[in-house]
Chains A and B, each alone.
Chain A
Amino acid sequence: MDKEQYSKLVKKHTPKEDRFLNAVKAFVFGGLLGVLAEAIMELIRNVFDLPILDATVWMMIIFIFSACLLTALGVFDKLTNFLKAAIIIPITGFAHSVTSAALDYKQDGLIQGIGSNCFKLAGSVLLYGIIGAFILVLVGVLINV
């Protein structure tokens, strides 16, 4: 049996993932999370009488904080089993990836441990996010010249 035939054999016996169901779950729960965010934002805007931009920032801080706290309490990874990508894709997932990596390297010290490892997963998002933003700004400037 060569490698090609073998990969067919493997495919035959490997269980299929419930992609459609997972996507539906992520869509529904992700959507609900969006509704919740909107509600929190409106609440902050009305109660504290803040402009919409400030209220958005506060809402995001609340989300980031909750994600970090749930990660530290060991709940977040259990939630993803149920909610799928709904909480991994938004900013909660980014906060979660930083906190979980930091927790892993807590015992390795502040510099060699947390410092050099906490962006282990989130590093790519930051790097390519910044590069992407730079290119977009460049394009924006060139168009407006």
Chain B
Amino acid sequence: MSSLIFKNVYINDTASIVGPYEKKGELSFRNSLNDFYYNEKTFEDAEIKMQRSVLENLLFQNNLTPQEIDLVVGGDLMNQLSATSYNLRDFRIPFLGVYSACASFPESLIVASNMLETRFLKKAIAITSSHNLTSEKQFRFPVEYGALKPKRSTFTATGSLATLLSNQTSKIKVESATIGTVVDYGIKDTFNMGAVMAPAAAKTILDHLRDLKRDINYYDLILTGDLGEVGTNILKDFLWQNNRIKLKNYQDAGQELYRSDQETYSGASGPVALPLVLFHKILKQKKYKKILIVGTGSLHSPVMCNQKHTIPAIAHAVSLEVIS
């Protein structure tokens, strides 16, 4: 049993910022960058600045000082969680860093919600960010290198998003969560992240339904993190072949962020893709009441891949309820 039920944790507010590609994409955002540098010298500094701006905005929107926040939980894709830790050195807020690649956002929600549920902490913030070029540099080739990308590859989203959580009742309730397990189906292809992560998503969804004795149709929407087009098709087929489960009320954040003519291959990825689509599309539509978000993270490292290891993946699920 790896599921938790929360009785009094709510998402009060969010702040976000996106990069130039996301601005031109499918959804509309208030804050965005015009280029990948954000008036900084390096891409890394740009990512830190994005995180700082969302954290400052979130505090400003809610008339809060950093001292009033009891905990920040968050992570990003950079080595040693550099973006998050370098951002938080200026705030003096207690901080827990988490890494599960693109499942970092739901993981942060789970950790923060659990802390708030105890009522020892009053206000917590979950934060995440990714930057297309810092991760490109870290996981693949130099930024300017014209490596040809196959159709199955995904495109790391640029942006940052922070959410304020507390016991104070709001329209979005964090209802329950399932902590994922590491799953490895023997994929070695570092371009096919959808294939790496799909079984992890399936496992977590099944665990969640089993633990909470729910049917898949209990949810108005299941929103996976960033499987992309390829991973989505694999997940659907996988669940059907193994468990005879048909995914009907289903969307994948990776497919919702960009327009189809934006040359982003199989779709968006990165820890920020899921919360961006969740808060700027799904919750804005006011169509869905019960939403299960399943963040999917590929836990690969270039070192392990070079040493011919297969790629493990993890998925964490959080169930949200919209209270009208």
Contacts and interface: CB of A to CB of B under 8 A. Distances in A.
Interface of A: 1, 3, 6-7, 9-10, 12-15, 17, 22, 71-72, 74, 76-81, 84-85, 87-88, 96-97, 99-101, 103-104, 107, 120-121
Nearest to A17: B150
A20 B175 CA distance: 51
Contact of B144 (A12, A17, A76, A120): A76
Given A1-B242, A6-B199, A81 B146 contact: yes
A97 B144 CA distance: 9
8 contacts: A3-B185, A14-B152, A79-B146, A96-B146, A100-B143, A104-B137, A107-B41, A121-B145
Interface of B: 41-42, 137, 141-148, 150-152, 185-187, 192, 195, 199, 230, 233-234, 237-238, 241-242, 263
A36 B152 CA distance: 34
Contact of B142 (A13, A80, A103, A107): A103
A96 to B, nearest CB: 7
Contacts of A100: 141-146
A13 B237 contact: yes
Determine chain A's interface SS by DSSP, over half rule.
helix
Given A22-B148, A121-B141, 7 more contacts: A6-B186, A7-B187, A9-B234, A15-B152, A101-B145, A107-B42, A121-B142
Nearest to B241: A1
Nearest to A83: B146
B242 A77 contact: no
B136 to A, nearest CB: 9
A14 B146 contact: no
A88 B142 contact: no
A39 B254 CA distance: 47
A76 B146 contact: yes
Nearest to B149: A81
A41 B198 CA distance: 54
A103 B144 contact: yes
Nearest to B236: A13
Contacts of A6: 185-186, 199, 238
Nearest to B188: A7
A120 B192 CA distance: 24
Nearest to A84: B148
A95 B69 CA distance: 51
